Structure 1
Amino acid sequence: MASRLFSGMLDAIDRGAFPRTRKWAWRGVYNMLSRFWRDDDWRFMNYGFLPPGAPFALRAEDEPERAFIGLYQQAVDGLPVAGARVLEVGSGRGGGSRYIARYHAPAQMVGLDYSPDTVRRARQLNADTPALSFETGDAEHLPFPDGSFDIVVNIESSHCYADVAAFAAEVSRVLAPGGWFTFADMRRRGQLPELNSQLSTPGLTLESACELSPGVVAALDASERRKRERIGRALFMKSFITEFAGAKGSIIYKALVRGDAAYVACRYRKTGTAEQS
């Protein structure tokens, strides 16, 4: 039953059906998970990414989260984060924003999420991190003035939005001239041209794009045992959570392995130069 429900949700997303309802439904899912999945050592809700080659440096206490942190490391690697004003849209439980704040020394790190319960949970889990704050808000109507940020991060969140093009336009608006927008998410392969069109908004220039799928599958494999332990402790909806988490055998896991779905990463730059901001 859970697999059929999740498959139906994915099919509706593919068709672009009921976008406003979809947005509301995803917020309900994340509110529910924040209320009932209360593990204090679980700050991430993404599928993760393990890049090829030598592993990037992490402190010993962060090693259990390496698979999930990988998506954020690839997102900001090489960007001028030190001293920058950084916004993460769709920050979830806050692990990614916390990683950027602790490892890359931004002047300001703001995490924004549509789910009020998730924002409350993020504040509890990450209260020990300076220069980090969390706010509730809508990705399609960002509650910030023009030019407020130097970098906007968006990881595995855009599939929940009703209007991705409106989100991209808002990113362009809140970025300062010369600022960076770094994006990663998954789509059915046939949806990629539409996604590219949605993100191609005036004021943003595509600088790079790549597919992360093999590294995402590697991360899912690496985190499988830990996820199964958490799912085993759940009191209800175990099958749905298994699908949601991308565990082995789930619809999303199989789609990534077969190549029916693709996990992509893109970087865009705001027109203009930093001196103009």
Structure 2
Amino acid sequence: MSSRLFSRVLDVAALGKFPRTQKWVWRRIYNMLSRFWGDSDWRFMNYGFVPTGAPFPLKPEDEAERAFIGLYHQALDGLQVEGARVLEIGSGRGGGSRYIARYYAPSAVTGLDYSPETVRRAQKLNADTAALTFTQGDAENLPFADAAFDIVVNIESSHCYGDVPAFAREVARVLKPGGWFTFADMRPKNQLAALDQQLGAPGLELVDKRNISQNVVAALNAAEARKQARIGKIPLLRRFMSEFSGSKGSMLYKGLSGGGVVYQARRYRKAG
């Protein structure tokens, strides 16, 4: 029952039946979270990824965030990032953009988020990182010039959008010819075919598509104790945060574990 209910919620969101309301609600949720949680050690808001093979290298100070960083490592693994201009759309509190800037030697990383409070939080949390900037903006109407970036990253954000095809067209527009778009997000299993069409913007060629649901579940398990310790400090929001964060027993956790919800990683390359 929980998996079906979660699927129905995502059905409404992904189909964009109420796009203005949907974007308004998500923006306010993230504004609220940014106001309530000013913790300096909370830079990530994704569900994470644990690879099936050997662990990737991390500096000791980043080990606590390994499960969450994993989604970014898999997104960029094998790409030529050194010297590249990178845009992260839906950058949240900035942990992913910070990881890219610190580990991959890009020429510049820009993090864009729809929530102004979240952008302010990201700027504060990551002020010590060179070649990294954050700006407020709409994924469906990006405030950048054509061909401004070599790589566009979008992690666990697109399910909040009112118009995913418009987002994909904007990605294609701001990518330079030959540039890469690396994407990871979840959808109900019955919406995967629709996602193919939504992300299939002219000029974007699908190069790789993987189901990483079990890797995400492994990350949720790995982060459960730390997550519960933090949620336990806010009893009035415990139920909401347990569902929102994908804790064990939540609708999302059951959906991913049972296969009703699929978490996909994709890579597209711009023609030319």
Q: Same fold judged by TM-score > 0.5?
A: yes
Q: Secondary structure at the match of 1:69?
A: helix
Q: Secondary structure at the match of 1:122?
A: helix
Indicate the larger mover: 52-61 or 13-22: 13-22
CA spacing shift, 1:7–1:230, aligned 2, 3 Å: farther
Whole-Å separation in 2 of the counterparts to 1:15 and 1:138: 18
Q: Secondary structure at the match of 2:99?
A: helix
The question of 1:39 aligning with 2:39 is answered yes
Q: TM-score, normalised on structure 2?
A: 0.96
User: In 1, are the aligned partners of 2:16 and 2:163 still within 8 Å (CA)?
Assistant: no
Whole-Å separation in 2 of the counterparts to 1:201 and 1:14: 17
Q: Secondary structure at the match of 1:206?
A: strand
Name the residue aligned to 1:219.
Answer: 219
1:16 deviation in Å? 3.7
* 1:22 counterpart letter in structure 2: Q
Between the two proteins, what is the percent identity of the paired residues? 67
1:14 deviation in Å? 5.4
Name the residue aligned to 2:153.
Answer: 153
User: In 1, are the aligned partners of 2:14 and 2:159 still within 8 Å (CA)?
Assistant: no
Specify every segment of 5 or more residues in structure 2 that has no aligned partner in the other structure, as ranges: none
Whole-Å separation in 1 of the counterparts to 2:127 and 2:5: 36
Deviations 1:225-262 (A, max 9, x none): 11101111125322111100000000000000000000
CA spacing shift, 1:51–1:156, aligned 2, 3 Å: same
CA spacing shift, 1:257–1:189, aligned 2, 3 Å: same
CA spacing shift, 1:54–1:134, aligned 2, 3 Å: same
Name the residue aligned to 1:71.
Answer: 71
Whole-Å separation in 2 of the counterparts to 1:202 and 1:8: 29
Whole-Å separation in 1 of the counterparts to 2:8 and 2:40: 32
Q: Secondary structure at the match of 2:138?
A: coil
Name the residue aligned to 2:139.
Answer: 139
Whole-Å separation in 2 of the counterparts to 1:15 and 1:271: 28
Q: Secondary structure at the match of 1:205?
A: strand
CA spacing shift, 1:238–1:8, aligned 2, 3 Å: farther
1:38 deviation in Å? 1.5
Spell out structure 1 runs of 4+ moving beyond 6 A: 3-8
Task: Kindly report which structure 2 residues correspond to 1:17-28, keeping only aligned pairs within 5 A, or say none.
Answer: 17-28=17-28
* 1:168 counterpart letter in structure 2: A
Q: Secondary structure at the match of 1:144?
A: coil
* 2:105 counterpart letter in structure 1: A
Whole-Å separation in 2 of the counterparts to 1:135 and 1:200: 26
Name the residue aligned to 2:259.
Answer: 259
Task: Kindly report which structure 2 residues correspond to 1:1-277, keeping only aligned pairs within 5 A, or say none.
Answer: 9-13=9-13, 16-234=16-234, 236-272=236-272
Q: Secondary structure at the match of 2:236?
A: coil
CA spacing shift, 1:245–1:67, aligned 2, 3 Å: same
Provide the alpha-carbon RMSD of the alignment.
1.6
User: In 2, are the aligned partners of 1:181 and 1:269 still within 8 Å (CA)?
Assistant: yes
Deviations 1:149-204 (A, max 9, x none): 00000000000000000000000000001000000000000010001110001011
